[in-house]
Structure 1
């Protein structure tokens, strides 16, 4: 039986984006079901698969796995050949630490800058706590690239779980035209050049659902062309 990933809107659901891009880049086959976060039956539909009533949810036969990082860990255990975590013990520990920091932290950035692929890039005024989150993320990326990134353009050389966890931040930095250093920009461009990224973005731009709470320019909804 194939893996089945239940996700939310591709334009808005950062939590769904993480396991989706991890599995897609790794070449792990799965089916997907998209349920709009604004669907009146969203909670009931997703609760049939997860007690949280939230996305994403991975279905593997009788197994149900929820939470982005837990899903990535599950598929990494099933597919060690995919190399979602670095083989080196020190690098692997560091990757898990920064992935967990992303999973648990950066609340100010998440609240102020919702993921929104179709919004044309435009800056917003950012509070100090948001700027601290941006600076911390840039420091994480810069340190990883310096210490572990010699084998490729991503945080640990090859694209892996840590990159997947930060992929929605890459999107936010583009959407809100965040001013970053040249090393950060190069990393962002490498992520955005992935065929998986392009496929997700293109699907997001074609979606019909609009969620006002995730539209920072509301009641205007500026959209890039699909």
Structure 2
């Protein structure tokens, strides 16, 4: 009988390779399943980026009519800008009979501008101004000095209730320009009175605005007059002309004027060739 073949021994594991310094490196261990699961869990747990929230809509709404023709709408707009109140605009068409009558000076009641803010509805330009002053006194719509504040209210009230001849003779029309326009005699006294008011304020408070270095309620009230004087080429003394240029260069005034020039609607009654 042949002798049984001896069982072969398993081959020995090769020794670790010596390193350059004579030491041996331990063999690398394969990553465990647990480590892989942990890494996957981290990847899943990483929160996804969310989109930035949309900006909130303005809390106030200013209702206006034509930017080309409505001097009162312009005053309300300037007051909100000077007070830095973020407002959305709501437009009432000039085709609305009540608004048309107002623009043509055939209405004793002014429906625009109107400010809706935090559940309150405020109409009439001076009422809006007083509300904004209470809301944001730091904006300086009224001067801090008591005497100057009384003066500011007085000339603003005079513009609010007076100068009827000026309004009818030189209606607001930003898009129009009438070089050499002959002003109706009845409006001359109104123009003279306005220039007298401006001169007194600029001399007293130093300009460039009526009550000093920053625009106030009074400037908002007289801003449409600056536009009218430009439209109808009214001759002014150098200081009054410089004041008009200062007002027309005001960023809010520039914004309004640009929008007025793009306005499509027209009223033939106010676009007649003089």
TM-score (norm 2): 0.72
Q: CA deviation at 1:126?
A: 1.8
- The within-5 A match list for 1:187-202 is 187-202=243-258
Aligned to 1:155, what secondary structure does the other structure show?
coil
Q: CA deviation at 1:213?
A: 2.2
> In structure 2, which of residues 222, 234, 240 is the aligned counterpart of residue 166 of structure 1?
222
CA distance in 2, matches of 1:183, 1:216: 31
CA distance in 1, matches of 2:224, 2:79: 12
Query: Is the aligned partner of 1:120 residue 2:188?
Result: no
Query: Is the aligned partner of 1:36 residue 2:36?
Result: no
CA distance in 2, matches of 1:106, 1:180: 17
Contact 2:83–2:132 under 8 Å retained in 1? no
CA distance in 1, matches of 2:197, 2:110: 32
> In structure 2, which of residues 162, 169, 174 is the aligned counterpart of residue 105 of structure 1?
162
Give the aligned partner of residue 60 of structure 1: 117
CA distance in 1, matches of 2:229, 2:120: 35
- RMSD between aligned residues: 1.8
CA distance in 1, matches of 2:250, 2:240: 16
> In structure 1, which of residues 145, 153, 156 is the aligned counterpart of residue 211 of structure 2?
156
Aligned to 2:76, what secondary structure does the other structure show?
helix
Asked which structure has the greater RCO (Cα within 8 Å, sep 6+), the reply is: 1
After superposition, what is the alpha-carbon deviation per residue over 1:54-105, rounded to whole angstroms, capped at 9, x for unaligned? 2111111321111111111111110001000000011000000000000000
Contact 2:82–2:139 under 8 Å retained in 1? no
Compare the two structures and name the one with the higher helix fraction.
1
CA distance in 2, matches of 1:210, 1:112: 18
> In structure 1, which of residues 130, 134, 138 is the aligned counterpart of residue 187 of structure 2?
130
TM-score (norm 1): 0.87
CA distance in 1, matches of 2:136, 2:157: 20
Contact 2:67–2:256 under 8 Å retained in 1? yes
Count matched residues.
Answer: 208
* Distance 1:169-1:216 versus aligned 2 partners, 3 A rule: farther
Q: CA deviation at 1:216?
A: 3.7
